[in-house]
């Protein structure tokens, strides 16, 4: 009897898993059939700067990974040049990775622009985005959009000071085959902060910020969450684990987009896999608070990790509003709130 019960339980579990997989496949098929939203040309100076960075990375350079070393080198040069032009002395954090099937280690680099605090013992706030792409993809939303926002924030904060040291960090490896391993650029950076014994206010991962859709049913979720959140992909999400809820709460309270972009903030259990799919998880692993700011990636964007992830699909007006919200939140933290 015990054996039969175990078989029944396994069968029920199999059916449940198959149902979830089927629903996810149907959601992906359904989203792919929605018409692409129209995008106006970038109008404001901020929109134009964001679009220029995305087009440089995803349009002119294209794939940026260990398998495309020339593209990766050009992306590194773009990031370093932008930080330098904004007035920062750029710190480079070199590290090596070992791609699967390759015997030699490959050199990689994180690029860091530091905004000093008023006090040398102030805690650190990390704002980061990865500049590499999945293999053979141009990576406009994933993650030229995050890098463009990172560079724009660095420009806006140069010369300011306050209660925090802000480190703007561009990571060299986030995508597969390094994702989820200690070979992520953010893993090296988070570990270095731990080794320094620095107090860390928190980490904000800028991960895919550019795709929005006002159509009904354009947003999907992990199982059950659709009961609680909007079904239109016209919002920006700020998500943390339960251990980072206080950091998320402070961030969301002061995050004020100027054009009333909807912000959905959620602190969720770690067993929901989707909440940890970016650089912020490496900081969680070191015991630091962190959150991801995102358009929710593949939960709305059917061009995720595809050759069709190109610059014209992004909404630069809403991206600029996300940066405005970030500026308000970082300013509040600098002022000690």
Judging by beta carbons within 10 Å of its beta carbon (0-12, 13-18, 19+), is residue 228 exposed, middle or buried? exposed
74-85 exposure pattern, b = at least 16 Cβ within 10 A, e = fewer: bbbebbbebbee
The answer on pLDDT for 33 being more than 70 is no
pLDDT of residue 102: 81
The answer on pLDDT for 221 being more than 60 is yes
pLDDT of residue 104: 81
As a whole number, mean pLDDT of residues 316-334 equals 98
292 close to 278: Cβ distance less than 8 angstroms = yes
pLDDT of residue 27: 54
The verdict on pTM exceeding 0.85 is yes
Helix (H, G, I), strand (E, B) or coil at 127: strand
How many CB atoms sit inside 10 A of residue 198's CB?
17
Pick the closest to residue 306 from 130, 63, 132, 99 (CA basis).
Answer: 63
| Residue with tokens 């650190």, as numbered in its chain | 124
Pick the closest to residue 297 from 141, 193, 148, 159 (CA basis).
Answer: 141
108 close to 172: Cβ distance less than 8 angstroms = yes
Q: How confident is residue 24, by pLDDT bands cut at 50, 70 and 90? A: low
Phi, psi of 88 (to 5 degrees): -95, 150
pLDDT of residue 185: 98
Q: Which residue has the higher pLDDT, 12 or 175?
A: 175
| Residue with tokens 């900081």, as numbered in its chain | 283
The answer on pLDDT for 187 being more than 50 is yes
What would the two tokens of residue 42 be? 């970038």
The answer on pLDDT for 3 being more than 60 is no
Pick the closest to residue 239 from 272, 214, 215 (CA basis).
Answer: 272
The answer on pLDDT for 15 being more than 60 is no
The neighbouring-strand residues paired with 112 are 91, 169
Helix residue spans in the chain (DSSP H): 2-32, 45-54, 69-85, 145-157, 185-196, 245-254, 280-285, 316-334
Pairing status of strand 200-207 against strand 262-268: unpaired
Q: What is the largest CA-CA distance in the chain?
A: 73
Residue pLDDT, tens place only, 38-65: 888 999 999 999 999 999 999 999 999 9
Edge-to-edge strands, sheet with 235-241: 91-97, 106-115, 165-171, 124-130, 200-207, 290-294, 235-241, 262-268
Identify the weakest region by mean pLDDT among 3-17, 20-34, 191-205, 247-261: 3-17
């Amino acid at each position: 009897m015990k054996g039969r019960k175990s078989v029944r339980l396994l069968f029920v579990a199999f059916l449940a898993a198959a149902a979830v997989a089927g629903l996810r496949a149907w959601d992906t098929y359904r989203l792919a059939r929605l018409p692409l939203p129209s995008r106006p040309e970038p109008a404001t100076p901020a929109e134009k700067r964001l679009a220029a960075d995305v087009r440089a990375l995803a349009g002119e350079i294209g794939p940026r990974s260990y398998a495309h070393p020339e593209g990766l080198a050009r992306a590194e040069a773009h990031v370093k040049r932008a930080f330098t032009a904004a007035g920062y002395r750029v710190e480079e954090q070199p590290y090596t990775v070992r791609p699967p099937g390759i015997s030699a280690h490959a050199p990689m680099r994180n690029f860091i622009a530091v905004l000093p605090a008023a006090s040398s013992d102030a805690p650190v706030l990390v704002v980061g985005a990865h500049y590499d792409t999945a293999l053979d993809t141009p990576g406009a939303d994933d993650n030229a959009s995050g890098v463009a926002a990172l560079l724009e924030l660095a420009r806006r904060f140069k010369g300011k000071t306050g209660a925090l040291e802000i480190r703007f960090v561009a990571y060299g490896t986030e995508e597969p085959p390094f994702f989820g391993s200690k070979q992520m650029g953010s893993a090296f950076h988070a570990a270095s902060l731990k080794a320094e014994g620095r107090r860390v206010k928190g980490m904000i991962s800028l991960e895919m910020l550019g795709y929005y859709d006002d159509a009904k049913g354009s947003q999907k979720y992990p199982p059950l969450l659709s009961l609680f959140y909007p079904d239109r992909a016209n919002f920006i999400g700020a998500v943390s684990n339960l251990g980072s809820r206080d950091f998320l709460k402070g961030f969301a309270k002061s995050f004020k987009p100027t054009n009333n972009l909807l912000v959905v903030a959620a602190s969720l259990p770690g067993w929901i896999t989707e909440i940890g799919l970016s650089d912020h998880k490496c900081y969680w692993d070191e015991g630091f608070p962190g959150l991801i700011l995102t358009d929710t990636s593949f939960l709305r964007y059917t061009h995720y990790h595809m050759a069709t992830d190109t610059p014209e699909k992004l909404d630069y007006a809403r991206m600029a509003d996300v940066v405005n919200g970030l500026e308000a939140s970082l300013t509040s933290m600098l002022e000690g709130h």
